[in-house]
Amino acid sequence: MGGQKVRKNCLYCGKGFTPRQRKNARVTFGLYCSRKCHYSYKRSLPPGDFRPRFWAKVNKNGPLWNGTPCWIWTASRDSTGYGRFALPRIGTTPAYWTAWILLRGDIDKSLQFDHLCRNRICVNPDHLEPVPQAVNLLRGISPPAQNARKTHCKRGHELTPENTYKAHGWRVCLECKRMKVREWFAAHPGYQKDWEQKRKDKIA
């Protein structure tokens, strides 16, 4: 009897399955027929009425942006300043993510939310826009985003496609590169003559 396998019903889809016996396996995998059902169950909205608890932590009289007030999250925040809310079965989630699901519905998992009001604790869906990760990064204030918005280098040269090339993921000004080469050759005249002679020999 000890070797008899027990059939269970998947907690997400209801399909019958036999849990696999694995050493040090996570207990949760014995409740679902597949990993897909496991993670789908975690991403689904939890049961129970958690809405009063969520909205009790929101102040809808925040500063105005584009004629509408920010909805300020008054509870816990993460290390980056975004609001966090604990959902049953799922754990802590971004507060703006929960507000969007409650008022707008499902979320495209391939997109990220951009706070148009630039207020990280705002959960007003009218102040959020789902965008691709690259767009969200370039709209921010990080060093890569600031450099991507630059139109001229630090010496004043225009960063046009003809005057730039990419190295290690960032733009390099060709005119500045030429200036550095000319300065180096001016400081090493002997090397320049040797280099020109080697170039002529290579062409010949």
* Topology (CATH level 3) of domain 51-145: Homing Intron 3 (I-Ppo) Encoded Endonuclease; Chain A (3.90.75)
pTM, two decimal places:
0.55
3-class DSSP string for the chain: CCCCCCCEECCCCCCEECCCCCCCCCHHHHCCCCHHHHHHHHHCCCCCCCHHHHHCCEECCCCEECCEECCEECCCECCCCCEEEEECCCEEEEHHHHHHHHHHCCCCCCCEEEECCCCCCECCHHHEEEECHHHHHHCCCCHHHHHHCCCECCCCCECCHHHEEEECCEEEEHHHHHHHHHHHHHHCHHHHHHHHHHHHHHHC
Domain ranges of the chain: 8-43, 51-145, 153-203
Local confidence pLDDT in tens for the 204 residues of the chain: 445 566 777 777 777 877 765 554 444 456 778 877 777 766 665 555 788 889 999 999 999 999 999 999 999 999 989 999 988 767 788 999 999 988 988 788 889 999 999 999 999 999 999 999 888 888 877 777 777 778 888 888 888 888 888 888 778 888 888 888 888 878 877 776 676 677 777 776
Per-residue pLDDT of 167-196, as tens digits, reads 887 788 888 888 888 888 788 777 766 766
Per-residue pLDDT of 33-42, as tens digits, reads 887 777 776 6
